[in-house]
Amino acid sequence: MAAEPSRRVLRRLRILLSALKPGNPVPRAGPAAAFGTSVTSAKVAVNGVHLHYQQTGEGEHAVLLLPGMLGSGETDFGPQIKNLSKKLFTVVAWDPRGYGHSRPPDRDFPVDVFERDAKDAVDLMKMLKFKKVSLLGWSDGGITSLIAAAKYPSFISKMVIWGANAYVTDEDEKIYQGIRDVSKWSEKTRKPLETLYGYDYFAKTCEKWVDGIKQFKHLPDGNICGHLLPLVQCPTLIVHGEKDPLVPRSHADFIHKHVRGSRLHLIREGKHNLHLRFADEFNKLVEDFLQEKSP
């Protein structure tokens, strides 16, 4: 009687070993694979453009990752796509129109660019059949998140933003002029974007971004979305890197002051890309915040 189980074990081992040969996908089955690491990507028609997104996880809590200037899901959120809990969350990372793989069209920067992104992001998630979503917005994606939370409050559960600003100052404009010429960027920062876009589109779009952001400085108080902050209703966590060379602390303080009930968390050694440099700390902070029961 003992021989039968042995034959079954040997057969399973042979199947497993054959599956592990180069070129063969490893079959996933059973509870251990229920929350696997697979990432799907697709494009969907939203507001007249085809928006690209990546999706992973099977949790009930939907989370949208919103990238920064020139960003995309794959370039901006690797550690979040890979490591945020697949059991707790369904994570979607989108490429805004003109960025990443959401091209055509080329990226442009009308004065309502962030309102347009906010509507695109919300409509994308509705197209994907989500009823509510939490937002994780970095830099420009943080601005988009603030606008989305203010304009579509019934659709937004919670929000985490970092490296965002609600207005533009003379100091900010000087900082932006310093990044206008991408040939002066460090190779580590430049290379992934150059690979994604090709040098010409990358360089041209960065220049267009600087010019696009400058237009807000000519508005009263350099306003981007400050007037909308009191309309944000969802629980909001603002994370700020105290060594961020692009966004001074005053911006995080302003958002914290004007978003009712918001929380400010400082990362002492954090720079603009704190979610990449301190990914484990950041991911735990986010998971804990998103799991908290709202009062």
Residue 169, pLDDT above cutoff 90: yes
> What is the predicted pLDDT for the residue at 35?
54
- CB-count burial class (<10 Å; 0-12, 13-18, 19+) for 264: middle
> What is the predicted pLDDT for the residue at 9?
37
Mean pLDDT computed over every residue of the chain:
90
Residue 123, pLDDT above cutoff 80: yes
> What is the predicted pLDDT for the residue at 19?
36
3-state secondary structure of 164: coil
The domain locations on the chain are 39-166+226-290
In the CATH scheme, what architecture does the domain 39-166+226-290 have? 3-Layer(aba) Sandwich (3.40)
Put residue 70 in one of left, alpha, beta given phi > 0 → left and psi -120 to 50 → alpha: left
Residues 106-127: what's their mean pLDDT? Answer: 98
Residue 30, pLDDT above cutoff 70: no
Pick from 98-112, 114-128, 240-254, 281-295: least confident: 281-295
83 to each of 157, 178, 275, 282, how far by Cα in Å? 21, 33, 12, 11
> What is the predicted pLDDT for the residue at 36?
61
Residue 25, pLDDT above cutoff 50: no
- CB-count burial class (<10 Å; 0-12, 13-18, 19+) for 78: middle
Apex 127 CA angle, 91 and 197, nearest 5: 65
Q: Is the pTM of this model over 0.85?
A: yes
Beta bridge partners of 161: 137, 238
Active site residues: 139, 244, 272
pLDDT band at 106 (very low <50, low <70, confident <90, very high): very high
Q: What is the DSSP letter of 106?
A: P
